[in-house]
Structure 1
Amino acid sequence: MAFDELLEYVGKGGRFQILNAILCMLLNILSSPHDFMENFSSATPAHRCYVQLLDNLTSEANITVNLTAEALLRVSIPMDLNQKPEQCRRFRQTQWQLLNSNVSTTNNIDLETEPCLDGWIYDQSVFTSTIRTEWNLVCEYQSFKSFAQAIYMAGFLVGSPLCGFLSDRVGRKPLLLFCCLACGILGTCCAFAPMFSIYCALRFLFSACMGTVQFNSLILLLEGTSPKWHPTIITVFGLSMSMGQVLLGGLAYMFRDWHILQLVVSLPYFIFSLFFCVVSESVRWLIATGQTERALKELKRIAYINGNKDVAQSLTTEILTYKMKEELNTSEKQFKIKEIIVNPTVCRIVLCGSFLGFSGVFSSHGLMLDVQSLGDDIFLSQFLLGVVEFPSKLLTFFVIRHVGRRPSTTVSFLVAGSCIVVNIFVSKDMATLRLIIFLLVKTSLASFVMIYIAFSNELVPTTLRLTLQSIFNLTTRSAAIFSALVLATRSYFVHLPMILFGIFPIAASICVYFLPETFNLPLPDTIEDMEKRDRFRNKGTREKQRKVFLEQGHKNVL
C-alpha cells in the first residue's frame, strides 16, 4: 500500500503521466472503431441478379437497342411486394409480355424464376466495395456477416484470458508492444485477404491482440498514477471510445472502399508500436513481483521526466526496499490459478464482478443491435451514436469522484432495467416517449460501463490484476455474443429479448451487495490486502477501513 506514497515522492501527475495518458488515449481512439467497422466494411448495398440481356447488350443488341434499362429490368427481374426488383431471384426466361402495360404485375408470382446463377450486380453509389460485394455474401449467404462478427468476438474470448495470464507474468509493456505490432500486421493482412475464410481467421487473431492492447494500456495508466487521478483517466478513456465511434463515421464517409478503410485504421498501429518501445514498465507490477532493480530504474526515469532530478539522484535500492518492505516480502509468493478458485474472497469477487459486467454489456449491446436506425444516412447514424455518449460520460466523471461504487452501480442498473421493462408496455405509436426512455437506458448503461472500469480495477490485487481483468473481459465479450442470439428468440415470443435485457440488470443490482466498497481507497497489491478490505464491507465501518489502510501505508514508510 506504500506505493501511492512512493509515487507522490517521484511525481504523481507530471509530464510522464500526461504523456503516457495521451499516448494510451490516442491508441484507444484508434482501437475503438474496429468493434463497429463491419457496419461499413460489411454493409449490404442494393443488388440484383446478373442478367445477360440487361448487363451484356452485345448478345442481343438488335433486339434491345430501342429498350430502356428500366424496360429490360422489368422483363428480366421479378418485383417484390414493394414493387422493387427482387434481390435474389430472376426470371428463368425473358418475359417480353411484361412490356405490355395492360399486363398486370400481380401475375409475376406465377412466372418461373431461379436464383442468381451468374452472380449479382451491386449499387456502388454509397459503397464502392464491401466484403459482401467482394465475396458475394448476399441472399443465402447473408448470414455470413453475423458469422464474421461472432468469430471476431470469439477472438476476445480466447485472447483476453491468455494475454491477461501472460501479462501478469511477463509484464504489461512487452505484451502491449507485441500485440500492438501484431494488430498492425494482422489488420493490414485483412485488407488483402484473398478469401472470406482467411479474412475471418485474421480478424479472429486481430481481436485477440486488440483486447490486450485496450486493457493493458488502461491498466498501465491506472497503475502508474495515484487513485485520485483514476476518475479522470477512466472518464477520458471512456470518452476516447466514443471519439473512436465518431471517427469511424467520418473515416467511413471518406473511404467508401473497405480495403482502404481497413488499411487506414490498421497502419497507425505500426507507429504506436514504436512509441511503446520507450514506454516504462508498470513500477507497481515490478515491485509486486520482486524486481527491485528494474523498479528503481523506472522510478528514477519517472522522477527525471517529471522534473524531480534531485529525487532521481537520491533514490537507492535500500530506500525502495525499506519503503516497500511488505510488498517485497509478499512478492516472494508465486500466485497460482487455483488460488482464485480456493480462496473464498477472490472467488466471490470474480463471480460477482463477472456477473455485473455480463449483465451490463448483455443489455446495452442487445439494445444497440435492436435499435432502429437514426436515419437513412448510415454515416450520420454512426456519428450520432458516438456523440450522444459524451454528456453521459462527462456526468459519470463527477459520479466516480464523489459517489461510492456500490450505490452508483446499483442506481445505474435499477434505472436501466426498470426502463427497459417499462418500455415493453409503451405503445409503438408513442415514438417520442419510447425514444426518451431508450436514451435514459443508454445513458444509464453508458455510465455503468465507466463505473465498472473503475470498480473492477479497484477490486482486484496488483499481482492478479490482469488475470482477473481478463476473466471479467471474457464474460463481457460472451455477453455481447449471447445478446445477439437472444434477439433470435423474438420469433417465439416477441417480448422475450426485452424481458431478459431488463431482468439481468435488476438481478445484478442485488449482486452488488456481496462486493466491498472500494471508493477512495488505495489499490490492493496482494490477496491479503483483499481479505483485509473484505472485513469492512458494511458502510458503518468505512472510516475504520480507511484508517487501517492508511496506518498500514504509514508503517511501510517509517
Structure 2
Amino acid sequence: MCDNEIIDMSSASLLENCDECGDQNVKNKRKSNGQTPIIIVGSKAPLSDIEDFEDGMTTPSSPVGAAGDKEKQQQPQTEKTSSDPISQSIGNFGRWQFLLTFLLSLVNFPCTFHIFSPTFEGASRDFWCARPEGFRDLPVDLWKNLSGIFSVVSDGKVKYDPCTIKDMPLPIHNYTDVSVTFSNESVPRKKCLHWEYDSSGFGETIISEWDLVCENQQLNNLAEMMFLLGVAVGGLASGFFSDRLGRKKTLMVSLLLQIVLGLGIAFAPLLSVYLVLRALLGFVCVSVVFSGFVLCMELVGGKWLTISGVSYLFPLPIAYIVISGIAYYIKDWRNLQIAITVPAVPFLALWWILPESPRWLLTMGRVEETFEVLEEAARVNKITLPANTHKLLKQSISKVESTEAPKVGLGDLFRTPRIRKISLVLYIVWFSVYLIYYGVVLNLSSLGGNIYINSIISGAVEFPAIAISIVFLLKMGRRWPLCLTIVGAGLACLLTVLVPEENFNWLTITFAMIGKFCISSSNVVMPVYTAELFPTIMRNLGVGSSNVPAGVALMLVPYLWNLADMSAKMPMAVLGTCGVIGGAAVLLLPETDNLADTLNDIE
C-alpha cells in the first residue's frame, strides 16, 4: 500500500506516491524555481510557479486545533511536502487565507470601473452641425432639413451627413426662402466646424466636450487605445516590479497612483493630457490586478490555487453591473470619473492589513519576516506552528539556491519543434480570446439596444462562466473545454450576422451574450493551460510572451467597429472568424497531465 496520496490538479485524479508503488516519476516530480509568472488581465487564474498543482495536498487544508496539529506533525512527510514549508506550516487554506484573498479580490472593483468607463464616458450619440446665432430656437429636425446634406445609402435609406453643411449666407430671416433656395444639389457646401449633441441619454462626454466627431472621430478610438496600450505594457512590466519590490509594495503603490491618476483625468483640461493620463492609468490598473492576484495565489496551496485564483475574478461581473448603475445616475463624464475613482481610497487601509507574501519573503532569504507572517497566520487559523518551522524555512532557501534554474531567453521559446509549436499556437489563442472578450465588452453600445441594460446582462452572464470554469479546471482538463468555449463564442458572434437588422435587435444581443458567456470561460481556462504547457525554466517567459499578441488584440479593439462602415455585420463576423480559428488551433496543443521542468521533458 502507498503511504500518501497527492491530488494531481491537472487531471483531478488521485496518484499513488510511495516507493512500494515504484512510480518514481510521480514522487518529487518537480522543484519550484521561486518565480512567479506574469499574468494578463483577465488573466484568469493562472497557477504560480512557486508551487506545483499537486502541492500541499499531503497536509490538512483546514486547521483542526492543537490536537490535530500534533497529529499532523507526527505524520510522515514526503519530500515534496517539505519543499513547501508555507503550506506545511499553516495549511493550504484557512480563515487567514480566506479573509486576505477576499479583501484582495475587492481591488478589482475600481480597476474594472476604469477599464469599462469609456463605454459611458465616450458613448456615441446623435449630433448635428451647430445652429448659428439666430437659429438657436429652430427645431433640430427643421434645421437639419434646411442646412443638412443628405444621401441615399445602399439599403435605400436617406442618411444625414453631420460633417457637412450648406454654405448659406447669413443672417437669414425667412426660413421659407432658405428651404426653397438651398434645396438644390448644386448649392455649395462647407465643412462643419462646431456641433450640437443629443443630451437625452447622456450628459457631457469626452466626445461632446472635445468634438471627437467627423475628422476627429479616430481620436475617440485613440483615447481608448491609450488605456489598453498601458494595460499591455503594464502586463509585461508588473511582474518585474513585483518580483523586485515585493507584492504588497507593488500593489499599494499602484493603488495610490491609480487614485491620483483617476482624479487627474477628471480634471484634465486638454485632450492630450487626458490621453497621457489614460495610458498611465492603464499601466497601474493592470499592476494592481496582477500584484493582487499573485499575492492571492501565494497565500494558498493545493487545489485552492485554482479555486482562489478563479474566485479572485468574481468581482469583475459585479463591477460591470455597478458601474452601469452609477453611470445611469451620473451623466457627466467628469463627475462619473470621480465617482468611480473615490471607491479605491478605502483600500489604502490594506497597507496595515495585508502581509507581504511569505513565499516572496522566503525567496528573498528573509526568514525572520517569513516566520512572523506565518505566526500571524497560525494565530488566525487557530493552529500551532510546527516546532521545526525555522529549520524548514532555512532548508527551503538552501534548496532553492542549489537548484536555481538556468537562464533562458526569448529564442528558447522557438528552439525545439514542440516548444515552437506550443508557443506559436498559444499566440493565436491569446490573440483570439482577447479580441473577442474585449471586442464584445467594450463595444456593447454598438450592438444596439439600451447600453445600461446590455452592460448589466454582460456582467450577469459572466458569473456562471467563471463558476463553471472551476469545474473545468478541476475535473475536465484544459484542452477540450478551452477549444469548445472559444469555438462557441465564435459561432455565437457569427450567428449575429444572420439576424435581420429590423425588429430583431434582441436576438443579436442574445447571441452576443452567449458569446460573452463562452469567451469569459475561455478567459479563465486559457492562462492556467498556458502556465502548464511551458516548462518550469521558461514558464515566466512563456506566459509573458503570450501577452504580446494579447496586447496587440487590445490595441485593435477600439478600431474594430470602424469596419461597420463597410458593413454593419462586419465587426461581429471578424470576431466570429477569429473564434473559430482560435478554438480550432487549441486542438494542435497537447493535454497537460504533469508539469514539465525542462525542454527535454516537453520533447
Please report the TM-score for the alignment, with normalisation by the length of structure 2: 0.73
Report the AA paired with residue 217 of structure 2: Q
What's the counterpart of residue 538 of structure 1? none
**Equivalent in 114, 117, 120 of residue 190 of structure 2:** 114
Measure the CA separation in 2 of the matches of 1:124 and 1:488: 24
Q: Aligned partners of 1:47 and 1:182: how far apart in 2?
A: 36
Q: Which residue of 2 aligns with 1:19?
A: 99
Q: Distance in 2 between matches of 1:128 and 1:422?
A: 34
Unaligned runs of 5+ residues in structure 1 are 57-66, 536-558
Is 1:382 the counterpart of 2:455 in the alignment?
yes
Equivalent residue of 2:183, what SS?
Answer: helix
Q: Is the 8 A contact 2:226 2:279 kept in 1?
A: yes
Alignment deviations for residues 145-201 of structure 1 (CA, whole Å, 9 cap, x no partner): 111111111112222212222323333222222211111111111111110011100
Question: 1:233-262 CA distances to partner (integer Å, 9 max, x unpaired)?
Answer: 244333311111111101111211111111
CA distance in 2, matches of 1:124, 1:427: 29
Aligned to 1:529: 597
1:99 to 161, 171, 176: 176
* SS of residue paired to 1:267: helix
Identity within the alignment, %: 24
- Picking from 266, 271, 287, the partner of 2:362 is 287
- Residue of structure 1 in register with 2:394 after alignment: 321
Structure 2 equivalent of residue 60 of structure 1: none
**How many Å separate the matches in 1 of 2:514 and 2:494?**
13
Report deviation, 1:273. Answer: 3.1
CA 1:471–1:183 in 2, change beyond 3 Å: closer, same or farther?
A: farther
Deviates most, 142-151 or 194-203: 142-151
Higher mean displacement: 198-207 or 253-262: 253-262
1:29 maps to amino acid: F
Describe the superposition over 1:409-462 as per-residue Cα deviations: whole angstroms up to 9, x where unpaired: 122234334555566667768957766654443322111111124334555688
The 1:347–1:466 alpha-carbon spacing in structure 2 relative to 1, beyond 3 Å, is same
Q: Separation in 2 of the partners of 1:232 and 1:136?
A: 47
Structure-2 residue corresponding to 1:549: none
Show the counterpart of 1:547: none
Aligned with 2:285 (options 210, 218, 223): 210
Matched residue type, 1:443: F
Deviation at 1:73, TM superposition (A): 3.6
Of the three residues 452, 455, 464, the one matched with 2:526 is: 452
Q: Secondary structure at the match of 2:313?
A: helix
**Conserved in 1, the CA contact under 8 Å of 2:444 and 2:455?**
no
Aligned residue number for residue 58 of structure 2? none
- Give the drift of 1:45: 4.2
Deviation digits for residues 115-137 of structure 1, max 9, x if unmatched?
A: 344x3333433333211222222
Q: Deviations over 1:7-58 (max 9, x none)?
A: 14313222221222222221112211222211111123443333343367xx
How many angstroms does 1:404 deviate by?
0.8
Partner of 1:200: 275
Aligned mates of 1:93, 1:445 — CA distance in 2: 55
Instruction: From 235, 260, 267, give the equivalent of 1:160.
Output: 235
Deviation at 1:79, TM superposition (A): 6.5
What is the match of residue 401 of structure 1? 474
Q: Which amino acid aligns with 2:169?
A: Q
| Closer/same/farther in 2, CA of residues 400 and 108 from structure 1, 3 Å limit | farther
The answer to which of 463-472 and 185-194 deviates more is 463-472
Q: How much has 1:77 moved relative to structure 2?
A: 3.7
Which of 263, 288, 294 aligns to 2:338? It is 263
For the 8 Å contact 2:128–2:196, the answer to whether it is kept is yes
1:28 is matched with 108
8 Å CA contact 2:321, 2:455 repeated in 1: yes
State the alpha-carbon separation in 2 of the partners of residues 202 and 164 from structure 1: 22
Does residue 471 (structure 1) correspond to residue 545 (structure 2)? The answer is yes
Q: 1:249 to 1:320 in 2, by over 3 A?
A: same
In structure 2, give the amino acid aligned to 1:258: W
* Residue matched to 2:304: 229
CA distance in 1, matches of 2:602, 2:358: 26
Is 1:124 the equivalent of 2:192? no
Are the equivalent residues in 2 in contact too, given 1:365–1:480 (CA < 8 A)?
yes
Q: Secondary structure at the residue paired with 1:388?
A: helix
With 168-177 and 316-325 compared, the bigger mean Cα shift is at: 316-325
Output one character per residue of 1:254-287: Cα deviation in whole Å (capped at 9) or x when no partner. 2111111111222333432331454222223333
Classify the secondary structure of the residue corresponding to 1:260.
helix
Q: Which residue does 1:244 correspond to in 2? A: 319
2:148 maps to what in 1? 78
| Number of the residue aligned with 1:7 | 87
- Alpha-carbon distance in structure 1 between the residues aligned to 2:141 and 2:600: 80
Distance 1:252 1:461, change over 3 A: farther
User: Does the 8 A contact of 1:288 with 1:463 survive in 2?
Assistant: no
CA distance in 2 between partners of 1:363 and 1:356 (Å): 11
Question: In 2 relative to 1, CA 121–292 (structure 1 residues): closer, same or farther, beyond 3 Å?
Answer: same
Letter in 1 for 2:191: P
Match of 2:437 among 347, 364, 383: 364
Q: Which amino acid aligns with 2:129?
A: C
The question of whether the paired residues in 2 share the 8 Å contact of 1:176 and 1:212 is answered with yes
The AA in structure 2 aligned to 1:529 is D
Tell me, what secondary structure is at the counterpart of 1:387?
Answer: helix
- Computed over aligned residues only, the root mean square deviation of the Cα atoms, in angstroms, reads 3.9
Distance 1:273 1:392 in 2: 31
Pair 1:71–1:466, CA change in 2 (3 A): closer
Q: Return closer, same or farther for 1:225/1:367 CA change in 2, 3 Å cut-off.
A: same
Corresponding pairs, count: 513
For residues 266-313 of structure 1, give each alpha carbon's deviation from its aligned partner in whole angstroms, at most 9, with x where no partner exists: 2333432331454222223333454444333332232223222x317x
Q: Distance in 1 between matches of 2:564 and 2:211?
A: 28
1:79, 1:108 within 8 Å by CA — same for their partners in 2?
A: no
Q: Which amino acid in 1 is paired with 2:554?
A: A
Tell me which residue corresponds to 2:128. Answer: 48
Q: 1:105 to 1:476 in 2, by over 3 A?
A: farther
1:254 to 329, 333, 339: 329
3-state secondary structure, aligned to 2:200:
coil
- Residues 365 and 505 (structure 1 numbering): CA distance in 2 closer, same or farther, change over 3 Å? farther
Q: Secondary structure at the match of 1:48?
A: strand
The 2-side partners of 1:105 and 1:246 are apart by 52
> Can you give the 5+ residue segments of structure 2 that lack an aligned partner in the other structure?
1-79, 152-156
Contact 1:230–1:454 under 8 Å retained in 2: no
| 15-24 or 252-261: bigger deviation | 15-24
Match of 1:140 in 2: 215
SS in 1 for 2:128: strand
C-alpha distance in 2 between matches for 1:530 and 1:510: 24
Check the 8 A contact 2:447/2:508 in 1, yes or no: no
Distance 1:113 1:506 in 2: 47
Alpha-carbon distance between aligned partners in 2 of 1:430 and 1:51, rounded to the nearest angstrom: 33
User: AA paired with 1:33?
Assistant: F
- Corresponding residue for residue 415 of structure 1: 488
Equivalent residue for 2:61? none
